[in-house]
Amino acid sequence: MVNFDFERFKEKALATAGRVADKSVEFAKVAGDKAKIAGKITKLKTEIAMEKDTLRKTYAEVGKLYHEKYKDAPAPEMAQAISEIGLALEKVAQKEKEVAALKCELTDSCEETVEEVKETVEDIVEQAKAVAEDMVEKAEDVVEDVVEDIKED
Same domain, 65 and 96: no
- The domain tally of the chain equals 2
What is the predicted pLDDT for the residue at 139?
73
Residue 44 has pLDDT above 90, yes or no: yes
Residue 82 falls within a domain, yes or no?
A: no
Residue 16 has pLDDT above 90, yes or no: no
Same domain, 107 and 141: yes
Contact 113, 103 (CB under 8 A): yes
CA distance linking residue 14 with residue 108, whole number of Å: 90
The model's confidence at residue 6, banded by pLDDT at 50, 70 and 90, is: confident
Give this prediction's pTM.
0.45
CA distance linking residue 23 with residue 34, whole number of Å: 16
Average pLDDT over residues 88-111: 82
Residue 78 falls within a domain, yes or no?
A: no
Residue 83 falls within a domain, yes or no?
A: no
Find how far residue 76's CA is from the centre of its chain.
Answer: 31
DSSP state letters, 65-111: HHHHHHTTS--GGGHHHHHHHHHHHHHHHHHHHHHHHHHHHH-S-HH
Residue 78 has pLDDT above 80, yes or no: yes
Q: How far apart are the first and last CA of the chain?
A: 94
Domain stop point among 70, 99, 129: 70
Q: What are phi and psi of 109, to 5 degrees?
A: -105, 75
User: Which residues form the domain of 121?
Assistant: 90-153
Least trusted range by pLDDT, from 60-74, 80-94, 133-147: 133-147
Residue 84 falls within a domain, yes or no?
A: no
Residue 55 has pLDDT above 90, yes or no: yes
Same domain, 53 and 117: no
Residue 80 falls within a domain, yes or no?
A: no
Top pLDDT among 26 and 54 is at: 54
